[in-house]
Amino acid sequence: MVKEPVVGRVKTRLAREVGAVRATSVYRSTASAVLARVDRQGAWRTELGVTPDSAVMSKAWPLRFKRRAQGGGDLGRRMQRLMDTAPPGPVIVIGTDVPAVRSTHIQAAVKALGSHDAVLGPSSDGGYWLIGFKRRPRVPRAFASVQWSSPEALKQTLANLADFKVAHVTPLDDIDEARDLAAARRAVGRIVLPVSG
């Protein structure tokens, strides 16, 4: 899932602490690095779920990626729409603001879906950075009544998946606040994250 990197529209919580220009620069850098690392042609197909819908052909991302509009609604409705409308086969959805994600994390999630109905990558804030569904024999409805950006998001999603076999992969964190940015720099090392902007 990607957002068009427009100043004032991305990483708004981070922007309140570091400024909108710097927050946009952080998002743009992180998203570019994530896309470069998880794109494994031949192993899986990487597609972009884009918001806003009007940005589906934005030049902010490499043209080699197929794009689909996320559509309207909250995060859950948009993820469900991507799950429901994807081509046949398993689908894994991640955010592009998780600096530590590598193709090995995606590979582990793909492997988990071989023996599970769903897979989740927890975050330390009570949410998750990855969710995937086998989508056979049916697509789970995992996102109803989830309080997004809250410490309850993972727990509420798991409650919605109570009838499914669920695996977990390595916990990773996204960048929502200035402290997340500092932690990402320590954890990721050489990934370029702007210091000022």
Q: Provide mean pLDDT across the span 27-48.
A: 91
Give domain status of residue 56, yes or no. Answer: yes
Give yes or no for residue 190 having a pLDDT over 60. Answer: no
Q: What is the CATH number of the domain that holds 140?
A: 3.90.550.10
Give the structural domain span for 70. Answer: 2-188
Give domain status of residue 10, yes or no. Answer: yes
Q: Provide mean pLDDT across the span 149-167.
A: 97
Give domain status of residue 170, yes or no. Answer: yes
pLDDT at 192: 45
Give domain status of residue 195, yes or no. Answer: no
Give domain status of residue 64, yes or no. Answer: yes
pLDDT at 146: 98
Residue that has been written with the tokens 């570019």 in this structure: 32
Q: Which residue, among 105, 71, 66, 112, has the nearest Cα to 90 in the 3D structure?
A: 112
Q: Which residue, among 171, 173, 177, 155, has the nearest Cα to 23 in the 3D structure?
A: 177
CA gap 127, 120 in Å, rounded:
10
pLDDT at 197: 35
Give domain status of residue 196, yes or no. Answer: no
pLDDT at 40: 83
Number of domains in the chain: 1
Per the confidence metrics, is the pTM higher than 0.75?
Answer: yes
Give domain status of residue 97, yes or no. Answer: yes
Cα torsion at 173, 130, 98, 143 (round to 10°)?
A: -80
Percent of the chain with pLDDT over 70: 94
